[in-house]
Amino acid sequence: MHSKSVIAALSFFVALTAPSLAQTPVRALAEILEQSPASDWRSVEQENLLYMELPAGRVIIELAPDYAPRHAENIRALSRANYFNGSAIVRSQDNYVVQWGRDEGDAAALGEAHPTLQGEFDRPRAGVRITRLRDRDTYAREVGFANGFPAAGEHGRTWLAHCYGMVGAGRGDTPDSGNGGELYVVIGHAPRHLDRNVTLVGRVLVGMELLSIMPRGTGALGFYEDAAQRTAIRSIRIGSDLPASEQLPLEALRTDSATFLDVVESRRTRRESWFLQPTGRINLCNVPLPVRLRAS
Amino acid sequence: MHSKSVIAALSFFVALTAPSLAQTPVRALAEILEQSPASDWRSVEQENLLYMELPAGRVIIELAPDYAPRHAENIRALSRANYFNGSAIVRSQDNYVVQWGRDEGDAAALGEAHPTLQGEFDRPRAGVRITRLRDRDTYAREVGFANGFPAAGEHGRTWLAHCYGMVGAGRGDTPDSGNGGELYVVIGHAPRHLDRNVTLVGRVLVGMELLSIMPRGTGALGFYEDAAQRTAIRSIRIGSDLPASEQLPLEALRTDSATFLDVVESRRTRRESWFLQPTGRINLCNVPLPVRLRAS
């Protein structure tokens, strides 16, 4: 099951190409990745990986402790308290988010987790290494990639960006009303107006195609009106808590590498024969972030 | 079934709000629409509507003859030749497109339709009324809305933009290799690098949530490897070919109306109490395009 999921995830990142009558392979990007030096990849740390078990398979999320250290730690604590075991996907709103957690008042043990956390909406820009994109962005003066995550910035601050596949922590009306126990993933066009309003905690690396097809809820905001429509979550566990034999050795392309610059450029200016207009521009959320299994 | 589908579509456009622990209603936008004068809405012409029947319900697409007149006419001719009846959804690629049509070599009658058409990728900007957005766009100097559709432009040309829910006509490697018999819909972050590379023919008004959840295909580019994974299309018919009793009286908010400017501004600068950071900017593909049933 591991390799099948990972292949699906890889095809998600690598096979992004144009609608066509024939199945034209994208050679350019595949070649760039094949020819990349091993040093341009990083092993994703298992303590930053959430393994989420759904009836249809596994989703793996990488946490972003550089931007949301307290939320990452709280999600680890919730996971260790088995908080998520037996929780469910409760919301699926088209072109927006799929969300999971527990009902309010469903008293699951929090273990060592805090019941609420102050939001981690942004951080000082100074000292953060960002591989900048050169093209304009609607929502920020600067956009690029910080250690594998899409990021934006201006006025001396930087924050993670709500691109497809990014995972955030739901909250109520006050900035300190979330705790990482209710999470959502972006399944549509990037809702960048959520940037700096809510804490982004990570990104789906594997199994996004299991979350994005959740039947849309018919209640307000896409909540399921009938509990029978929910999808059960068997468990969410931290990679470093798993036996080594169950840890998936994922590697992500370093976003500060020369190979990544080549990836961006190959997508910025399309050279495949299908393209009549090479574009020569790219939006932050259209840049692929390649992930692979470490060769054994 | 009609009203249920339409309500789902309306909630897609109207209920776009933030992930939250509580179900906070968005008052601002709903109020704007409730208070709008009838003259700010247009009846969608039935000859521009495709009624697509899937096992799970109905999808309704509005054609864009202003930008793609030859494709609109060819799709009408294909529909009248029953070309789409018994076709299928053949591809579902995560964060990209869902596509339908017939296999190559599957000789369905074309009727009066042309077997191929020259691409309608863009048109002269002069004389086209576009309600411009003021914020920056990655892919074009000018973006806005032309008669209900997201559009972009520069250098004296204008073209439709690949936003979520937009429908295009697949083609092979040459610009004249499509005919509207193979269509796709955008189901992820806007793949704007396809703009001017392929002919956009319209937009899904109703039932998008039926298309976006199609299980992702595991073949290259998200094509289904096993024909059993396909979803059958019972028929695609033109609204004006249906008995009046079966025509759905849809109205779309005029994108050149004062109400639409209010809608844009309400989404550009968020005033709901949940928002801590009102953003003050909006991307072309994040602007809602309200649709409703005509009050009877």
Does any CB of chain A come closer than 8 Å to the CB of residue B97? yes
State both tokens at A146. Answer: 């910080």
* SS3 at position B220: helix
pLDDT at B104: 76
State both tokens at A70. Answer: 């307290």
Task: Examine the pLDDT at B167 and tell me if it is beyond 90.
Answer: yes
Contact (CB, 8 A) for A95 and A189? yes
pLDDT at B27: 52
Task: Examine the pLDDT at B20 and tell me if it is beyond 70.
Answer: no
Point out the residues of chain A with pLDDT beneath 50: 1-26
Contact (CB, 8 A) for B150 and B214? no
> Packing angle between helix A27-34 and helix A258-268, nearest 10 degrees?
180
Does any CB of chain B come closer than 8 Å to the CB of residue A20? yes
Task: Examine the pLDDT at B99 and tell me if it is beyond 50.
Answer: yes
A274·B197 Cβ contact <8 A? yes
Sequential DSSP letters for chain A: -HHHHHHHHHHHHH-----BSS----HHHHHHHHT--GGGEEEPPGGGEEEEEETTEEEEEEE-TTT-HHHHHHHHHHHHTTTTTT-EEEEE-TTSEEEEE--TT-----TTS-S-B-----EE-TT---EE--S--SS-SEEEEETTEEEEEETTEEEE---TTEEEE-B-SSTT-B-SSSEEEE-SS--GGGTTTSEEEEEEEE-HHHHTTSPPP-SGGGB-SSGGG-EE--EEEEGGGS-GGG---EEEE-TTSHHHHHHHHHHHB--STT-SS-B----GGGS---EEEPP-
Angle B149-B155-B159 from CA coordinates, rounded to 5°: 20
Query: For chain A, what is the radius of gyration of the CA atoms?
Result: 19
Please state the rounded mean pLDDT for residues B166-193. Answer: 97
Does any CB of chain A come closer than 8 Å to the CB of residue B56? no
* SS3 at position B33: helix
Question: Domain spanning A2-104+111-293: which CATH class is it, in words?
Answer: mainly beta
Selecting from B96, B168, B197 the residue whose C-beta is nearest the C-beta of A277 gives B197
Selecting from B25, B138, B170 the residue whose C-beta is nearest the C-beta of A137 gives B138
Selecting from A139, A165, A275 the residue whose C-beta is nearest the C-beta of B197 gives A275
Query: For chain B, what is the radius of gyration of the CA atoms?
Result: 19
Question: Which of A254, A296, A203 has its CA nearest to residue A41?
Answer: A254
Q: Which of A82-86, A292-296, B19-23, B91-95 has the lowest mean pLDDT?
A: B19-23
Check the CA dihedral B9-B13-B18-B24 and report its sign. Answer: negative
> How far is the alpha carbon of B44 from chain A, nearest alpha carbon, in Å?
23
DSSP bridge partners of B171: A20
Distance separating alpha carbons of residues A266 and B28, to the nearest angstrom: 42
Task: Examine the pLDDT at B55 and tell me if it is beyond 70.
Answer: yes
State both tokens at A151. Answer: 């990021």
Please state the rounded mean pLDDT for residues B113-136. Answer: 97
Q: How many CA within 13 A on the CB side of residue B155?
A: 4
> How far is the alpha carbon of B43 from chain A, nearest alpha carbon, in Å?
25
Of 3.40.930.10, 3.40.50.720, 2.40.100.10, 3.10.129.10, the CATH number of B2-15+27-293 is 2.40.100.10
DSSP bridge partners of A92: A98
pLDDT band at B28 (very low <50, low <70, confident <90, very high): confident
B12·A95 Cβ contact <8 A? yes
What is the helix (H) or strand (E) element at residue B99, kind and residue range? strand B97-101
Contact (CB, 8 A) for A53 and A5? no
Which segments of B149-278 are extended strands (E)?
Answer: 149-154, 157-160, 166-169, 183-186, 199-206, 231-232, 235-238, 250-253
Distance separating alpha carbons of residues A21 and A115, to the nearest angstrom: 53
Task: Examine the pLDDT at B3 and tell me if it is beyond 70.
Answer: no
Distance separating alpha carbons of residues B157 and B125, to the nearest angstrom: 5
pLDDT at A27: 52
Distance separating alpha carbons of residues B293 and B296, to the nearest angstrom: 9
State both tokens at A124. Answer: 């000082």
A207-254 pLDDT, tens digit each: 999 999 999 999 999 999 999 999 999 999 999 999 999 999 999 999
Helices (H) and strands (E) in chain B, counts: 5, 17
Contact (CB, 8 A) for B137 and A136? yes
Does any CB of chain B come closer than 8 Å to the CB of residue A257? no
What interface predicted TM-score (ipTM) does this complex get? 0.92
Selecting from B138, B189, B208 the residue whose C-beta is nearest the C-beta of A164 gives B189
